[in-house]
Structure 1
């Protein structure tokens, strides 16, 4: 015990005190450095924005633009990484708000200032964050010349690098649908969302082979196909969509049920009611959500039966909500016979209770 107190007194406490003082000084110096550099960075930011605006809107030929860009390089510390990042971020912002030749000018400046080389260096860097930053530069600036550099990372062992590389590669591809051939076998939920964002941003026409997407054995591709059908409001394969409810994968079933209600596939009513009894709680909930949208008077007996016999409170509440949407009179009759149902009716009709 005495030895421990000795170590505490002469080693541990002094070490902690010195560490605390050093850390405080380090943070203080960093703050002072930041405040000193802040006016310079703000000045450069304004200079970059003014210059890019003038150059993008300029009708000068490439020789004059190149000369102006060369002079501009001397006016800012473009050899510094933070300055390169600042200029690239401004270019991305301009690119996202411009179209046509003006947008093409941004890529020309990107190359002349050799910022594409900086982005390539980030991709080759051993740090994951820098790699993803480089992918983002190429994707946001639509720099198609960078595709060969991205391609080796499409099947990278690190899932984050792989995901970001795939999204950049798909976005840069002239034929976005063809680029799926390079895609890894399984498409994650996050990648599906990113792909849908690309469809929206690039205004991609509906894939001609969309029917094949829901005929594959790869459930992740099927889910993406369903999302795509919803996005394009494509209802021509309603039978095939409904048939997917027979699959064992609950994640796929959930996507099918969302598709059924988003595309308003009223012909799916019987299939949903048949599926109900053998489904998990989550799928039952999704079925009732879909029936609430596509249902009609024909499903009232089914709903009344479920409300009377269902033991799971959450599912019963969903069924009450569904019946309330379709026929309030029928629901009131059930409420008169059961106090629990009456409470649920009050809840769905007065949501703040």
Structure 2
């Protein structure tokens, strides 16, 4: 016997409680605000319920994944063993890349990863044109609108993408919002431009897989406060992370020492002329290094750097989310000394190897 179909009023009597992530909460709230601007007065719960109703009985959209960790494991295995990937896989990665730019608390992002995302979008659009896949005018306008003012002046989409790349180059260190807008294009294109052969999609996007994976892995780390597990033998990974080179480095301003941990890295930063010291793990150390390489005040995931020109150009570094508000003062010479020391350490093969392994675990943005 077949199942009895619920009457509409029966279905509405059921109550469902869910725990959802912060980014999904923000998405529902933005959707509610957009509908409100159109004159519809709805609660966030109304929007969530309507989305469920609209998707009932339909196939899940391309890129939709329930178990993100298992999907990432599968893609990592495919990358390691040179196995083919589908448009569904790349759509998932593009979605997670865009999500990463939404999730990060930084106000700056890596230019190389953003350009990798843009170039993947360019490669996919080129494939669409080669295969005779017409992109509707409204979507082409949408793509151009995410690539900057000059890009919108172009009529040919590849020219607009070139303008987007030029904008990233001109910024040097792009803003988070730039990454959020530009990364929308690859996400939407892989989701909506359908009908292409998976092997062709894999062929043109494979060169950009490492960068897309770094962004997707960082999204998982943000959401779960840990890296993806089960990628390789845990004991083998720990052995590969052991530091065999000298553990201490110093200059006239600071000393930095490292110790390998249980699948991570412990770092101790000590100034030569002050009594404070800073201890942190890999993620926070990389966050600290990238922040102190800037020539301006900025926000990162774990720290806030304030530049005070009227006090002789000093910098104040504080930890975000700390229960006690403590700031560390850096003179301009000390900040330069920190950058120089970090650059020396990063250039050493032994440390570069360990940093690369950890980056492949935690991802990057």
TM (normalized to structure 1)? 0.22
Structure of higher RCO (CA pairs closer than 8 Å, 6+ residues apart): 2
More helix per residue: 1
More strand per residue: 2
Structure showing greater radius of gyration is 1
